[in-house]
Amino acid sequence: MTTSEEPNTVFIVDDDEAVRDSLRWLLEANGYRVKSFGGAEDFLEAYDPDQIGVLIVDVRMPGMSGLELQEELIARKAPLPIVFITGHGDVPMAVSTIKKGAVDFLEKPFNETDLRAIVARMLQQANERASQAQAKKNQQAVLSRLTSREQQVLERIVAGRLNKQIAGDLNISIKTVEAHRANIMEKLEVTTVADLMKIALTQTEGQA
C-alpha cells in the first residue's frame, strides 16, 4: 500500500538530540509533520520511497555519515530532496553535495526564516517529482494495454516510418496499419502524432 497520500513529511537525521529537538520544534510550530532519527541506518530502515517528503541530514555523524546516506539514496534512485546540516568548516563539502543533487544546506546556528524557505521549496520539489512519477506510471499502464502488434506499429511510428513502410516491415496491408494506428491513438487518448511521440519517448527514457 502506497503512503503517498499521507501528509508530506520532513525527515530529520542527526545524532545530536538537541539539534533534532530544535528542528522538530521549529518545523512543527510551522505546521510541518516531522519524523526524526538519531542515525542514517535507522532512517533507511524506516524510509518508504512512496512517501512524499524531504530530508534534513547532518553531514557528520557516527556510523553512516550524511554524505554516505546521500550516496545510498542516489543508488536506490530515491526521489527525496536533501538538505545538509553543516558546521562552518563543512560549507565547501556541502557545496559539493549540491552538485550530486542536494537541494541546499543549512549552516549552524539555524535561521528560522531560512529554514522555512528551504523546507517549503524542498516540499514543492518533492511534490513535483511525485507528480511526474505518477504521470509516468499512468502512461506505462496505458501502454501496457496495447497488443503486441500495436506495440510493433507504435515503435515504427516513433522511428518515423510511414504507413507504407510499416506495412512492408510487418508484412501487413496499409489499411491494417491504419486500423492499428487508430486503435493506438484511441487507447492512448491522443489526437496528434506529436502527443503520441511524447508518451512513447517518455516511456523509452524511463526504461533507459
Q: So where are the chain's domains? A: 9-133, 145-207
SS (H, E, C) the chain: CCCCCCCCEEEEECCCHHHHHHHHHHHHHCCCEEEEECCHHHHHHHCCCCCCEEEEEECCCCCCCHHHHHHHHHHCCCCCCEEEEECHHHHHHHHHHHHCCCCEEEECCCCHHHHHHHHHHHHHHHHHHHHHHHHHHHHHHHHCCCCHHHHHHHHHHHCCCCHHHHHHHHCCCHHHHHHHHHHHHHHCCCCCHHHHHHHHHHHHHHHC
- pLDDT tens across 36-92, in order? 999 999 999 999 888 889 999 998 899 999 889 988 998 988 888 988 888 766 666
3.40.50.1370, 3.30.1370.10, 3.40.50.2300, 3.40.50.10680: CATH of 9-133: 3.40.50.2300
pTM value is 0.64
- Per-residue pLDDT tens for 20-44? 999 999 899 888 999 999 999 999 9
Same fold, 9-133 and 145-207: no
Question: Would you identify the CATH topology of the domain 145-207?
Answer: Arc Repressor Mutant, subunit A (1.10.10)
